Amino acid sequence: MAQDPLLVDQLQIDPGAVAGGTRLIKAAADGSLQFTDAIVTGGITLAQLAGLRSIGNLLVVGKSGAGAEYTTVQAALDAIPATSSLLNPYFVLVGPGRYKETLNLVRDGVHLIGFGATLASLAEDTPNGPGAYHTLVIQEALGTVPKYITMSGFRVTNAHDAYAAVRIDGGAGSEVGENLIALRECDLLNSGAGSPVRATSVNNVIIQGGSMAESNVLSLVMAEMCASFVMSGVDGIPNVQLDYDGGDVPSIATSDYQLAGCPNLGRGSLAPPVNSTLNTTGKLSIVGCSGGANLRLAGDRSVVIRGSEVGNITLLDSVALSISGSKKGTITSGGTASLSEPVQRGSVAFAADLSKSVAFVTPQPDASYTVGIETDAGPTTSWAITGKTAAGFTIVFTAPQAMNVEWTIHRVLGGATN
């Protein structure tokens, strides 16, 4: 025979001196069934348990007492199965709080989403001491490769000189980032002389939005042997080094580095704050960036600067620099580097001379330019430009002249017309 229901206000499970403290099942204020124990002291309702936790491939992380399924980020990452992938993704939602952990992300198809969450290095309170390491490492391990990863809404910090807030590590033939590793709207900082981000021998990385403005002026963003490394709209990048100059090539054997729309680029104190050496393959583009940082560009690849504010530029080896619509300082050239600009100017003094040769400080890529002249006194005869080469040209008059001659060369860049 069916029994009548037992009516009680709450049930206490394993009362008394049981390890783990008091466990209660009771009615919440809204009438739903609520569970409380020594960890979830504020209680969690059956409706909450049946909400987010009932969604497949979704893991929720919260600080102790918040009622989340996991109280550490690494525990959630460890719970992601090897079957996770681009087509079978897993989402990790991380609630507010500071999580001091050494994190390893090795699964594919993982989306990390932060809500007021800070990821801090484990030994951050004792910089460079025992336990110092990267805060988050994305790498191949446990038989899986993180080809596609997104991360958004986090503040990631590190205080150690030899380590990074985010370390992305691959190797020869590595498939890490083959689809994309995207860090969006994250504040990434290293308060020592380490790196906000360091990527080595991986494929496609994009850092979009967010800030590095709180990083130490000695900290350095590094990308080495990457197929693609893009920083777009990132504020306050302190120092940056973008190299493709020998080392392990990942699975995609090309290289494209871009700095786009980054305010206060190169605000750090390294000399210079923006460095790049590209050999054999690849290119570098700096578009719409401000800050006036000095640049050192080496190797045998092309570099494009458009609509940016940069400082002094040192060109080495056989770099081919094309620059337009930009404010710049002086250009120092070495090796066989070349420079293309829509307009370049200079002057030469004639002292009863028939002709004067002009040598470019940095050679042009070719002789496909036009020359105009302006004088501080009307010439007594006609003039011509002869001997145009990538290295310079000669101004010739039909009779000796004594005056200053201002010259201007014009080029067509990127398909535009002058």
Task: Indicate whether 312 belongs to any domain.
Answer: no
Q: Are residues 167 and 214 in the same domain?
A: yes
Beta bridge partners of 208: 184, 232
Q: What is the three-class DSSP state of 46?
A: helix
Give percent of the chain above pLDDT 90: 78
Last residue of a domain, one of 238, 255, 270: 270
345 compared with 139, residue with greater pLDDT: 139
pTM of the predicted structure, to 2 decimals: 0.82
63 plus 39 within the same structural domain: no
Q: Given a cut of 80, is residue 4 above it in pLDDT?
A: no
For 140-187, write each residue's pLDDT tens digit: 998 999 999 999 999 999 999 999 999 999 999 999 999 999 999 999
Quote the pLDDT of residue 19. Answer: 54
Do both 206 and 351 map to the same domain?
Answer: no
Between 47 and 267, the higher pLDDT residue: 267
Residue 276 lies in a domain: no
pLDDT at 15: 58
In a domain, 179, yes or no: yes
Q: Is the pLDDT of residue 21 over 70?
A: no
State the pLDDT at residue 418. Answer: 30
Which of these, 362, 366, 353, lies nearest to 394 by C-alpha position? 353
Q: Beta strand pairing status for 33-36 and 44-45?
A: antiparallel
pLDDT > 90? residue 65 = no
53 — pLDDT class (breaks 50, 70, 90): low
Q: Record the tokens describing residue 92, joined without a space.
A: 């990790």
Residue 262 forms part of a structural domain: yes
Domain with residue 381: its CATH number is 2.60.40.2080
Distance CA 116, CA 52 (A): 18
> Cβ(197)–Cβ(166) under 8 Å?
yes
Residue 25: the pLDDT is: 79
36 and 141 co-located in one domain = no
Three-class secondary structure of residue 38 per DSSP: coil
Mean pLDDT, residues 234-258 taken together:
97
What tokens were used for 51? Answer: 């909400």
Share in percent of the chain as helix, strand, coil (round to 5): 5, 45, 50
**One domain for residues 12 and 149:** no
Which tokens sit at 137? 């490492």
Residue 46 pLDDT grade (very low, low, confident, very high; cuts 50, 70, 90): low
Residue that finishes a domain, picked among 270, 302, 325: 270
Q: What integer pLDDT is reported at residue 40 of this predicted model? A: 66
265-317 residue pLDDT tens: 999 999 999 999 999 999 999 999 999 999 999 999 999 999 999 999 999 99
One domain, residues 93 and 239: yes
If one counts the domains in the chain, the total is 3
Asked if the structure places residue 338 within a domain, the reply is no
Beta bridge partners of 354: none
Same domain, 44 and 79: no
Note whether 93 and 152 are same-domain residues: yes
Check whether residue 359 and residue 210 sit in a common domain.
no
Quote the tokens at residue 239: 């120092």
Task: Please tell me the total number of residues recorded for the chain in this structure.
Answer: 418
Average pLDDT value for the chain: 91
- How many Å apart are CA 278 and CA 298, to the nearest integer? 7
pLDDT value at position 327?
A: 94
How wide is the angle at C-alpha 94 spanned by C-alphas 64 and 84, nearest 5°? 120
Give per-residue pLDDT as tens, 327-364.
999 999 989 999 999 988 899 999 999 999 999 988 99
Q: What is the DSSP letter of 52?
A: G
Pairing of strands 136-139, 180-184: unpaired
- pLDDT for res 335: 92
382-418 tens-digit pLDDT: 899 999 999 999 999 999 999 999 999 998 775 433 3
Range of the domain at 382: 343-410
Q: Are residues 261 and 351 in the same domain?
A: no
- DSSP E strand stretches across 170-301: 180-184, 187-190, 195-200, 204-208, 221-224, 228-232, 240-244, 256-260, 274-278, 283-287, 293-299
Place of tokens 């770099």: 319
- According to the 3-state scheme, what is the secondary structure of 119-182? EECCCCCCCCCCCCCCCEEEECECCECCCEEEEEEEEEEECCCCCEEEEEECCCCCCCCCCEEE
Q: Which tops the pLDDT comparison, 68 or 219?
A: 219
Least reliable range by pLDDT among 27-31, 134-138, 312-316, 397-401:
27-31
Using alpha carbons, list the distances in angstroms from residue 249 to 179, 207, 276: 16, 21, 17
Sign, CA torsion 382/387/393/399: negative
User: What is residue 415's predicted lDDT score, i.e. its pLDDT?
Assistant: 40
Please report the pLDDT score of residue 54 as a whole number.
61
Local confidence band at 43 (pLDDT 50, 70, 90 cut-offs): confident
One domain for residues 182 and 70: yes
Q: Are 30 and 113 within one domain?
A: no
